[in-house]
Structure 1
Amino acid sequence: MNPGSKPDGIWRTPDAYPFHLPLVPHYSHLDTERHVNNVAVQSFHLEARTRLLMDTLDRPVWYSDDVLLRPRRTLTQFLGETHYPHPVTATAAVLGADADRVHLRTALFQHGDCVGVQDCLLGAWQGDRWVALPDDVSRALGERPLEAVWPAETALDAGAFTGYPLQVPLSARYVDLDPDRGLSELALARYAEQARAGSLTELRQPELGLLVARIDLSFGRWDLGMGDEVRLATGLGRVGNTSFVLSGGIAVDGEAVAAAESVMVLLDRRSHRPTPVAPYADAMATLRIG
């Protein structure tokens, strides 16, 4: 299974993953659709990844005063809804590595079903740039070649973000910082969520629901803290029969920090089944990129 493709049978079973971690959803994880919010789901993947690294590496993982182990990219697929308060089993595996990157896969299981999979391309960040993985990390994780074929990546360019039709300023908060005093992975995921939510007002109708099927996040830098202004840029990309793609960018003080591509599915609330996007295309036209 390459990132972006639907998981096949083996990757939908807990036995495919050597690392297992029990987790419990919290009431605070629920969203307005009354299931576990997409960012909370991403936090489960992050916890599984972090704990796998803590079990595998000798160096500190959840904090560092030198080299940070941070995602260069995460691709999260939501295969089912995650519900409160039922326990979740988070699993993780190392799929390959080279001198600069490690491919990690995590999966979540609830009631025996695989409800989500995340592929993470992990790198090493030092100062103001990506660097080669530390030798001890390469030795511990680099036994298999990096073979996966990833989908084309959204350009990380603050200048390009200015061409997106919706531009929204946002103030970063102290709570958005991680233990290394930079904007956290989940804060950036939350910013991407805010960009999506702020662009879909025309679709907020009693008979319609929206689900996120896939979120592709590319991370450009990890050396910026709260900054004076966060700017969210959003535009409508591909439109399918019952789904559409929102592209977004996150800039801090004019510097591109992350880019997101989110596949959204439109639902009929009565049947809880996908419903055609076409009747709402005109209402969404102002969001189109280009």
Structure 2
Amino acid sequence: MKHDAWRRQPEIYPFSGEILPRYTDVDLWQHLNNVALISLQIESVQRLLLDVADDAAWRAGPAAIGPETTSTDFIAEAYYPTPLTAAARITHVNERDIGIASALFQKGHCVGLHQSRVVSWAPDGQPVPMSAELRAAFARRMAAHPPLPPGGEPEAGHKPALAHPGNAAGGAPADSMQVLPRRPADFPAHYPLASRFGDHDATGRTSDQALGRMAEQGRVNLLTALMGPERLASPVGFMVAHVSLRWLRRGRAPSAWNAGSGVLRSGDRSITIRAQLSDGDDCHAVCDSVMVAIDREARQSIRLSDDLRAAVERLSVR
């Protein structure tokens, strides 16, 4: 997404509004936390859903609508208490789902890009076909949007979390909807994550914000295993560049999730961490996070050292 110039242009988004960050959105690096930024992107998506579908977005009928997959690129740091402009547009409508692109701007500069794939969710937590009335409403709204510039690809860069690339399904294209969940015990790091009452949204399902929070904890647990408990004092750190979240099932959260995380793949300067949330052995969601190695003082990307590469190999998903 970050290479699509049109996504960074505020005027390309016909739906926009101001969002105020909260002090609780600030992390120990004194900028807005990645989970908070994902939540603000999803807030923009939800406001557009409400603007088009009204109560049908989350109150009316047995099948409420909400994201199945989300992809977020972090472009620049954002700061409290400066307001942000949250902007969104519909990118596709079909029988199964709708696509929504969103972006966050602060002081006129783009700080983040986002793409959601929204579906209808049945009470049993499974996606179901969207009603004809909803599809028609979103299609009418999309038809009223200004056209994308020549060459603009509305779904480019949207890469939902995928299966581990070591089996037959691992060669699926980057935008494949197929995910092969693994057992939590198959991950080099696995641990329980307690649910909170506030993890449920207005429909009684586990919220997107809760998934983002637990995926972040999976990243932190894996980075601690990778670099040791004193990793925050190390001159080498990791910066989140991209996060993809994917729901396989959406329902009420168990009292505790069975979570697992590991390194999915590595490059010259980055690693991709896979986190998975399961109720017992039943996988509900997966998350892939691209983490770039940086020199903390210079704030520049660096190559992975031989020691880090050895640790990455030890903590890889098999």
Does TM, scored on the shorter chain, surpass 0.5? Answer: yes
Amino acid at match of 1:249: Q
Give the match for residue 236 of structure 1: 263
The alpha-carbon deviation at position 218 of structure 1 amounts to 0.9
Which runs of 5 or more residues in structure 1 are unaligned? none
116-125 or 202-211, which moves further after superposition? 202-211
Equivalent residue letter for 1:186: Q
Please give the per-residue CA displacement for 1:84-139, whole angstroms capped at 9, x wherever unaligned.
11110000000111001001001000111111111000000112221111122100
Shift of the 267–15 alpha-carbon distance from structure 1 to 2, 3 Å rule, reads same
SS in 2 for 1:59: helix
Equivalent residues of 2:68, 2:247 under 8 A apart: yes
Aligned to 1:43: 39
2:69·2:160 contact (CA, 8 Å) conserved in 1? Answer: no
Structure 1: which 4+ aligned runs deviate by more than 3 Å? 62-65, 143-153, 155-162
**AA in 2 matched with 1:285:** E
Separation in structure 1 between the aligned mates of residue 40 and residue 237 of structure 2, nearest angstrom: 24
- Tell me, what secondary structure is at the counterpart of 1:11? helix
Q: Which residue of structure 1 lines up, in the alignment, with residue 12 of structure 2?
A: 16
For the pair 1:219 / 2:247, whether they are aligned, the reply is yes
CA contact (8 A) 2:263 2:273 kept: yes
Name the CA distance, whole Å, in 2 between partners of 1:65 and 1:200.
42
Structure 2 unaligned spans of 5+:
144-152, 164-178
Selected match of 2:237 from 190, 193, 209: 209
Give the corresponding residue for 2:174: none
Whole-angstrom distance in 2 between the partners of 1:182 and 1:132:
18
- Give 3-state SS (helix, strand or coil) of 2:275's partner: strand
Residues of 2 paired with 1:34 and 1:164: CA distance? 32
Match of 1:285? 313
Q: Distance in 2 between matches of 1:64 and 1:193?
A: 32
CA distance in 2, matches of 1:32, 1:209: 14
Equivalent residues in 2 for 1:86-235, closer than 5 Å: 86-128=82-124, 129-142=126-139, 148=155, 150-151=158-159, 153-155=161-163, 156-201=179-224, 202-203=226-227, 204-206=231-233, 207-223=235-251, 225-235=252-262
Q: Give the conservation status (yes or no) of the 8 Å contact 2:161–2:287.
A: no
Letter of the aligned partner of 2:259 in structure 1?
A: L
Per-residue deviation, 1:283: 2.9
Alignment match, 1:254: 281
CA distance 1:100–1:266, change in 2 (3 Å): same
Query: Within 2, Cα distance between the matches of 1:92 and 1:136?
Result: 21
Distance in 2, matches of 1:79 and 1:25, equals 17
Q: What SS class does the counterpart of residue 250 from structure 1 fall into? A: strand
TM-score (norm 1): 0.91
The alpha-carbon deviation at position 55 of structure 1 amounts to 1.4
Distance verdict in 2 for CA 1:189–1:22, change over 3 Å = same
When the two chains are superposed, the root-mean-square deviation of aligned CA atoms in Å is 2.1
- For residue 284 of structure 1, report the CA deviation from its aligned partner: 3.0
Aligned partners of 2:29, 2:154: CA distance in 1, in Å?
37
Q: Deviation digits for residues 177-223 of structure 1, max 9, x if unmatched?
A: 11122211110111110000011114314212321100011111112
- Letter of the 2:217 partner, please give it: Q
Contact 2:183 2:281 in 1 (8 A): no
Corresponding residue for 1:267? 294
Alignment of 1:78-93 (within 5 A): 78-93=74-89
